[in-house]
A = this chain, B = another copy of it.
Amino acid sequence: MNMIKAGIIGATGYAGVELLRILSTHPYAQVSAVSSVSFEGKPISEVYPNLCGIRDDMLGDEDDVIQNSEVVFAAMPHGLSEPLARKCVDAGKKFIDLGADFRLTSPEEYEQWYGLSYKDPALHSKAVYCIPELHRASAAGKEIIANPGCYPTSIALGLAPAVKEGIVRVNSVIIDSKSGATGAGRGLAQNTHYPDCNEAFAPYKVASHRHTPEIEQTLSELAGEEVKITFVPHLLPVNRGIVSTMYADLKKKMGLEEVHRLYQEFYKDERFVRVMEPGKIANLRNVKYSNYCDISLHTDERTGRLIVVSTIDNMVKGAAGQAIQNMNLMFGLDESAGLKMIPPAF
């Protein structure tokens, strides 16, 4: 079998370089070209010395990437993906967008939360938002995949069974998420300056984070009704990982065992979702550097609430790993190809 030629636009961002790392050991794909606006003309190992002698690929421009690839991953800030996607579609290349520009099906919501409008609406009909465990059926034959955001992945996987099966009041959902500092990217900023971030902790963009409509879009589809949730992200002094602690009122009294069976059943065929035994608690330590999502379930009998804790590695299942899972899906491969990394104990 020929190796799939995969290119990365924006390879020196955190999601981009993680894609490069994981794709480099993929059994059926190889990285064919990488680009960077800031570092064009340099080997990527000059920016990331961890790659020295392993991946010294020269950073080119986006056209180099598109020309030399069958599938193009774009890991760019929002607002830049439409023209890239257009070039890929016209050139018959598949396009996987790690940015936000194809995630929202509603142009109004995109405009409201991102302050930009879709310029090339025809593209959006060729695109699908895809958390494979929830949307793989609708991904068939699509040319563009919108790779989900990190928070929305942890949240949608954690709430899907409860919302889909209708055991919780969807408008009672409150989501308290905590993300490691790589979620803020490679760019320098005061709140990720080491002395500011270390031995510190706070929420940010309280009830105003751009992932909110993406979360609501998925939950609304699952619920079959419009859902509004409260979402508060926090910056956690670790490099990697997201923990989402989620609260919802149970429609009727349910024991933990019953909820657990429902989740087990929902995810019984999924390799990357681990529904933990009752009594266990999800910890980001156990999924770091892997494509797993660990989910633990808890009931607060005193108040009639369900509490779901969902954790992923924000850079793997929350970004690069899931993008590769989506690539596998697009090319009809085993979804876990290249993603068999076992989370280390420490």
Contact with B along A132-144 (1 / 0, CB 8 A): 0000000000000
Q: In angstroms, how far is the closest chain B Cβ from the Cβ of A341? A: 8
Q: Which one of B285, B307, B340 lies within 8 Å of A196 (CB-CB)?
A: B285
User: A194, B198: Cβ atoms under 8 Å?
Assistant: yes
User: B207, A302: Cβ atoms under 8 Å?
Assistant: yes
Q: Which residues of B contact A284 (CB under 8 A)?
A: 200-202
Contact with B along A169-209 (1 / 0, CB 8 A): 00100101010011000101110111111111111101100
Q: Which residues of B contact A282 (CB under 8 A)?
A: 202
Q: Which residues of B contact A302 (CB under 8 A)?
A: 207, 228, 230
A345 at the interface (CB under 8 A from B): yes
Q: Which residues of B contact A55 (CB under 8 A)?
A: 342
- Segment at the B interface, from A34-42, A62-70, A76-84, A286-294: A286-294
Q: In angstroms, how far is the closest chain B Cβ from the Cβ of A143? A: 30
Contact with B along A292-316 (1 / 0, CB 8 A): 0000001110110101010100010
User: A307, B202: Cβ atoms under 8 Å?
Assistant: no
A110 at the interface (CB under 8 A from B): no
A266 at the interface (CB under 8 A from B): no
A167 at the interface (CB under 8 A from B): no
User: B342, A24: Cβ atoms under 8 Å?
Assistant: yes
User: A18, B345: Cβ atoms under 8 Å?
Assistant: yes
A3 at the interface (CB under 8 A from B): no
Considering the complex, which residues of chain A in the window 188-247 have a beta carbon less than 8 Å from any beta carbon of chain B?
188-190, 192-204, 206-207, 228-230, 232, 234, 236-241, 243, 245, 247
Q: In angstroms, how far is the closest chain B Cβ from the Cβ of A7? A: 18
Q: In angstroms, how far is the closest chain B Cβ from the Cβ of A107? A: 19
A21 at the interface (CB under 8 A from B): yes
User: B342, A54: Cβ atoms under 8 Å?
Assistant: yes
Considering the complex, which residues of chain A in the window 271-290 have a beta carbon less than 8 Å from any beta carbon of chain B?
274, 276, 280-290
A337 at the interface (CB under 8 A from B): no
Q: Whole-angstrom distance between the alpha carbons of A17 and B345 in the complex? A: 7
Q: Whole-angstrom distance between the alpha carbons of A274 and B181 in the complex? A: 27
User: B300, A243: Cβ atoms under 8 Å?
Assistant: no
Q: Which one of B50, B241, B281 lies within 8 Å of A345 (CB-CB)?
A: B50
A92 at the interface (CB under 8 A from B): no
Q: Whole-angstrom distance between the alpha carbons of A287 and B298 in the complex? A: 32
User: A193, B195: Cβ atoms under 8 Å?
Assistant: no
Q: Which one of B24, B193, B276 lies within 8 Å of A186 (CB-CB)?
A: B193
Q: In angstroms, how far is the closest chain B Cβ from the Cβ of A26? A: 12
Q: Which residues of B contact A48 (CB under 8 A)?
A: 345
- Contact status of A281 and B203, CB under 8 A, knowing A48-B345, A344-B289: yes
A52 at the interface (CB under 8 A from B): yes
8 example contacts (A-B, Cβ-Cβ < 8 A) are as follows A21-B345, A25-B340, A50-B344, A176-B247, A188-B189, A201-B285, A202-B282, A202-B311
